[in-house]
Copies of this chain bind each other. A is one copy, B any other.
Amino acid sequence: MPALTLDPLFADDDRRKILRSTDFTGQDILSVSQFDRDGLEYVFIRAHEMREMVDRIGYSNLLKGHILTCLFYEPSTRTSASFIAAMERLGGSVIPITQGVQFSSVSKGETLADTIRTLEQYSDAIVLRHPEIGSARIAADYSSVPVINAGDGAGEHPTQALLDLFTIQQELGRIDGLKIAMVGDLRFGRTVHSLTRLLTQYDVSLRFVSPEILRLPLVLMNEVKDAGLNVRETHDVADVIQNADVLYVTRVQKERFSDLAQYEEVRGHYEITAELMQHAKERMVIMHPLPRVGEIHYSVDADPRAAYFRQVRNGMFIRMALLAMVLGKA
């Protein structure tokens, strides 16, 4: 009876892979590259459970007695509030170091490594926002408690990418088979880059809509092509509006243009208006990482396809799921 001696959980390689990719206890969350499809699916199942729990009951005691340090070297009210809410809705507590770090002893010549090794003495996990690329990796190397990267400069902001993808899945019920258009500043937009990387794991069609000077970097475009995805670039959102299942909109900043006349000429091609939305599918979603400054007109807000504030809420659920997972309570 060989079946009895073989642990069924390890009966085949696939099974093993799922187990590996879904056990996050004690792990750091630093990059979207940590997540394969099984990992993503697992995070989304947990996040969906959090959503149902909050909608029905409002809170849980899952992380009661646990302490999260939110260490923000740059202010980011939106992100820090989301993590604080996530921790508190799970019954946990927060040490909020979200403002003025630059004035305190933490930054008076002390290395990030020492600051992290100090704060880990008090807390069960650390969320870090820092202006320098690679800072989250350094923090994780020195920390004995899980570190979650909440943005390391031009580097990554993985929880944002996860909430973006989770929103697509929640809004449209699936990811495979969708036509997804990224609109705006595709060159510098960290959220666009991370979401695009996650999407290379799925069978999606991608459309990149940007001014010439703000096109997706070549290295990313090559990753998309290597993944075998159907991809095309264009200069006008009007070209993609009819077929898109997802419009992921980011801001085209005036400051990127040396010639302001050029900016004025093209800006209209990247603005989402109620009129434009008349050409869109009935079942599709508009997303935005926020804050917006005019690139989606306020007249669009009442449109049921406007998903950007639901997207914000999903951010709380994703962070609840991740916190529970890294603290071994998922």
Which residues of A (287-327) have their CB < 8 Å from a CB of B? 290-293, 298, 309-310, 312-313, 315-316
Contact check, A85 vs B95: say whether CB atoms are below 8 A apart. Answer: yes
> Given the known A-B contacts A104-B75, A104-B77, are A89 and B114 also in contact in the complex, defined by CB atoms under 8 Å?
no
Asked if B76 contacts A312 (CB within 8 A), the reply is: no
A268 at the interface (CB under 8 A from B): no
Chain B residues near A290 (CB-CB < 8 A): 110, 114, 118
* Known pairs A77-B97, A100-B100, A291-B114; A89 contacts B67 (CB<8 A): yes
Docked pose: A64 CA to B91 CA in angstroms: 9
In Å, the complex CA distance between A119 and B79 comes to 10
- Residues in B with CB closer than 8 Å to A105 are 75-78, 291
Contacting B at CB under 8 A, from A111-146, are 113-115, 117-119, 121-124
| Cβ–Cβ contact B110 & A81, under 8 A | no
- Whether the pair A106, B78 counts as a contact (CB closer than 8 A) is yes
List the B side residues contacting A298 at CB < 8 Å.
Answer: 113
A228 surroundings in chain B (CB, below 8 A): none
Measured in the bound complex, the distance between the Cα atoms of B118 and A324 in whole Å is 23
Binding site for B on A (CB under 8 A): 57-60, 64-67, 69, 75-78, 81-82, 84-85, 88-89, 91, 93, 95-97, 99-101, 103-106, 108-110, 113-115, 117-119, 121-124, 290-293, 298, 309-310, 312-313, 315-316
Q: Which of B99, B121, B312 contacts A103 (CB 8 A)?
A: B99
Closest partner residue, chain B, to A124 (CB atom): B58
A interface: dominant SS: mixed
Pick from B117, B119, B122, B291: contact of A108, CB under 8 Å = B291
Distance to closest chain B CB from A234 (angstroms)? 27
In the assembly, what is the distance between CA of A227 and CA of B113, in Å? 40
A110 partner, pick from B123, B292, B312, beta carbons under 8 A: B292
Please name the residue on chain B nearest to A68 by beta carbon.
Answer: B88
| Contact between chains at B76 and A65 (CB < 8 Å) | no
Whole-angstrom distance between the alpha carbons of A312 and B114 in the complex?
A: 11
The 9 closest A-B pairs by CB, nearest first: A59-B65, A85-B122, A75-B104, A110-B291, A121-B313, A88-B93, A99-B100, A77-B106, A77-B104
Q: What residues of chain B lie closer than 8 Å to A89, measured between beta carbons?
A: 65, 67
